[in-house]
Amino acid sequence: MPRTTPRPGPAGSPEAAAETDVVVVGMGAAGCAAAVTAHDAGASVVVLEKTSAAESGGNTRVSGGAWFQHDDPERAAVYLRALAGDRPIPEPVVRAWAEGTREVSAWIESLGARVLPTGDYTAEYPELPGSDCYGGYLCVEGVLGDGRLFTALEKAVRERGIPVHHETPAEQLLTDPATGAVTGVRTATGTPIRARRGVVLATGGFEGDPELVRTHLGLHDVPVWGSTAATGDGLRMAQRVGADLWHMDNMMAVDGITRPGSRHAFFAMFLYSHGYLWVDESGERFVDECAPSGHGQALVDGRYVLKPGRPMHVVFDERTRRAGPISPDADVLAVGWNVLVEGYRWSKDNSVEIERGWIHRADTVAELADLLGVPPARLTASVREYNEACAAGRDDRFGRSPATLDPVTEPPYYAYRSGPVLAWTNGGPRRDEHARVLRPTGEVIEGLYAAGTVSSTYSWAKDGGFHIADAIVFGRVAGAHAAART
Ligand SMILES: Cc1cc2nc3c(=O)[nH]c(=O)nc-3n(C[C@H](O)[C@H](O)[C@H](O)COP(=O)(O)OP(=O)(O)OC[C@H]3O[C@@H](n4cnc5c(N)ncnc54)[C@H](O)[C@@H]3O)c2cc1C
């Protein structure tokens, strides 16, 4: 039977649950998986969630909710090792990931959700060994996005009667001064909650914290595609008790448009025209804009590099403006904070967002350059060179595919600055195959676990559906291991 020792405090408040077996911090995919698994293993569990019920679920809530399918742990391990390249992931973690990701669908079905394939997704890095294991996307009800995965996970937590304390951020880990083992957490209001068996950090990444983003990713104050609650809280809490870090310079970013005054940005997809180019702060093109990209990386000049990985200006023309919405709304891609939580519908011809000033407009490329603050002569030359490549059907400089060489010749011209937009970060406290957080010496910090984007498995390249799978696999591992601790 789950055991919770009640303490004085209003029923349902964190004070009323001042002692429990397992405290789970954060209620996204990793937190829900940890809470449900620990509960089902017989532990009493309390979940602390920073945001309100309407905003909880972090990136899981606004994600595609898709995980990748495979039925071959051997080949999946080969693929993960190849994706990691010269940043190898510890072999026991690779093995746990490869075995665990095969079980994700069965576990979600065991919660009562219907799991079906969606779309026609193939491996993003078919050139790498092991990519043949990749069996496409699976989703709840076979529907990408729309919050369906989070709804199913939240229901499983609720059905078990696991107490969830919303608007209760955890702020500090409690430790045993003699052993350094983690014994609980303190909330932002100062309430200590003792965890007899363990604390699972499942607080998401640090993309919502400008200072951490600047330090570890070299990007200045970029907006996010998902939840702004991902401010690296778990990372900081773990660091304070001596955790080592891993994968801090890895991320997934997208080309996107910022709404002034908001930390949430829109994903720019250019589904209806390829007539656009990317230039840097000096007005120069710097990459094949349409190089096939995985979730964060693309193969450029024989190396897997972050793409997009730097600030840029995206320039297009009237033809592309008219062709269709450059940012998809919920009918096309029901993901992202602005689309799902705020319900924003992008105008069909982009005119509303241009009128609102989110996208600059000018009659000439030189005038557009002035609005962007880049040298007019350089931007004019970049657009001219790009159009020459379109006319020739060959991009000698960056090798952009001829099929994507749509010219940018029809005034007026448009542009926006893409920071780029951070989808999520990958780094955090280093952990082992049991999701136990480690010190720089490799020793385990007893009683402390991390799962999901707070400490993702991915050291470098990663494929579609890998992150939900990772959150669920190591959330389950953490919940089971913590519940079994005495
Ligand atoms: C637009 C978008 C689409 C995506 N689509 C996919 C997809 O289809 N497939 C895929 O594999 N990946 C996808 N991802 C990535 C994936 O959503 C995440 O990697 C995954 O959901 C992370 O789960 P998590 O539980 O680690 O973190 P989150 O889901 O971010 O949950 C973290 C939770 O912790 C809470 N929290 C933070 N700090 C504290 C604190 N101090 N105390 C208490 N609570 C705290 C947050 O409020 C939040 O509820 C997508 C991401 C985005 C942004």
pLDDT class of 16 with cuts at 50, 70, 90: low
For ligand 1, the distance from its centroid to the CA atom of residue 60, given in whole angstroms, is 4
263 CA → ligand 1 middle, Å: 16
Rg (CA), the chain: 23
Say what the pLDDT of residue 1 is: 35
For residue 3, report the phi and psi dihedrals to the nearest 5 degrees: -120, 125
Q: Separation of 262 CA from ligand 1 center, angstroms?
A: 19
Cβ of 335 below 6 Å from ligand 1? yes
In this prediction, residues 275-300 reach a mean pLDDT of: 95
What was the pLDDT predicted at 221? Answer: 84
Our answer on whether the CB atom of 28 is closer than 6 Å to any ligand 1 atom is yes
C-beta separation of 243 from 430 below 8 A: yes
Ligand 1 atom at minimum distance from 33 CA: 25
Question: Does any ligand 1 atom lie closer than 6 A to the CB of residue 323?
Answer: no
pLDDT digits (tens, 9 = 90+) for 253-271: 999 999 989 999 999 999 9
Tell how far the Cα of 204 is from the centroid of ligand 1, in angstroms: 5
CB 37 within 8 A of CB 479: yes
Summarize pLDDT for 374-414 with one digit per residue, the tens: 999 999 999 999 999 999 999 999 999 999 999 999 999 99
Per-residue pLDDT band for 455 (boundaries 50, 70, 90) equals very high
**Which H or E element spans position 81?**
helix 73-84
Q: pLDDT at position 12, please? A: 57
Mutate to test the pocket of ligand 1, among 63, 104, 338, 470 (most ligand atoms within 8 A of CB): 63
Query: What average pLDDT does range 415-426 have in this prediction?
Result: 97
Is cis: bond before 420, omega within 30 of 0?
yes
Indicate whether residue 270 lines ligand 1 (CB < 6 A).
Answer: no
Q: Distance (Å, rounded) from C-alpha 2 to C-alpha 44?
A: 4
Rounded Cα–Cα distance for residues 110 and 87 (Å) = 35
pLDDT bucket at 13, cuts 50 / 70 / 90: low
What gap in Å lies between CA 181 and CA 17, rounded to an integer? 21
Give 349-358's long-range contacts (Cβ < 8 A, gap of 24+). 349/321, 349/322, 349/324, 349/325, 350/321, 350/325, 350/326, 350/414, 351/321, 353/257, 353/327, 354/321, 354/414, 356/259, 357/260, 358/257, 358/258, 358/259, 358/260, 358/416
Task: Evaluate: CB of 145 within 6 angstroms of ligand 1.
Answer: no
Residue 423 has pLDDT above 50, yes or no: yes
User: Is residue 225 within 6 Å of ligand 1 at its C-beta?
Assistant: yes
**Which position has the higher pLDDT, 31 or 5?**
31
Say how many Å lie between the CA of residue 235 and the centre of ligand 1. Answer: 14
Q: What is the C-alpha to C-alpha distance for residues 364 and 412, in angstroms, rounded to an integer? A: 7
Tens-digit pLDDT profile for residues 188-231: 999 999 999 999 999 999 999 999 999 999 999 899 999 999 99
Three-state secondary structure call for residue 411: coil
423 lines ligand 1 (CB under 6 A): yes
Measured from the Cα of 31, ligand 1's closest atom is: 25
Confidence of residue 272 (pLDDT cuts 50, 70, 90): very high
pLDDT of residue 486: 84
Q: Could you tell me the distance, in angstroms and rounded to a whole number, from the CA of residue 471 to the centre of ligand 1?
A: 8
Q: Residue 203 CA: which ligand 1 atom is closest?
A: 34
Query: How far apart, in whole angstroms, are the C-alpha atoms of residue 173 and residue 383?
Result: 54
- Residues of the chain with pLDDT > 90, as a percent, come to 94
Measured in Å, residue 452 CA sits from the centre of ligand 1 at: 8
- pLDDT of 5 > 80? The answer is no
Q: pLDDT grade, residue 179 (50/70/90)?
A: very high
- DSSP codes, 355-398: HTTSSEEESSHHHHHHHHTS-HHHHHHHHHHHHHHHHHT--TTT
3-state DSSP: the chain helix, strand, coil percent, rounded to 5?
Answer: 30, 20, 50
Q: 19, 440 in Cβ contact below 8 A?
A: no
Task: Work out the average pLDDT over 410-432.
Answer: 97
Mean pLDDT of the chain: 95
Whole-angstrom distance, CA of residue 345 vs CA of residue 147: 17
Please tell me if the CB atom of residue 328 comes closer than 6 angstroms to any atom of ligand 1.
no
Q: Are strands 192-201 and 444-450 parallel, antiparallel or unpaired?
A: parallel
The whole-angstrom separation of Cα 168 and Cα 52 is 9
pLDDT band, very low/low/confident/very high, at 14 (cuts 50, 70, 90): low
State the Cα–Cα distance between residues 26 and 448, nearest whole angstrom. Answer: 14
SS (H, E, C) 447-466: EEEECHHHHCCCCCCCCCCH
- The pLDDT value recorded for residue 203 is 98
Q: Is there a contact between 104 and 473 (Cβ–Cβ < 8 Å)?
A: yes
What does 88-126 look like in DSSP terms, one character per residue? PPPHHHHHHHHHHHHTHHHHHHHTT--EEEETT---S-T
| Position 93 pLDDT exceeds 70 | yes
| Ligand 1 neighbourhood includes 149 CB (under 6 angstroms) | no
How many A from CA of 435 to the centre of ligand 1?
17
Is the distance from the beta carbon of residue 50 to the nearest atom of ligand 1 less than 6 Å?
yes
Residue 163 has pLDDT above 90, yes or no: yes
| Ligand 1 near 264 CB (within 6 A) | no
Question: Does residue 60 surpass a pLDDT of 70?
Answer: yes
The vertex-176 CA angle with 427 and 6, nearest 5°, equals 95
Q: Left if phi > 0, otherwise alpha if psi is -120 to 50, otherwise beta: which for 12? A: left
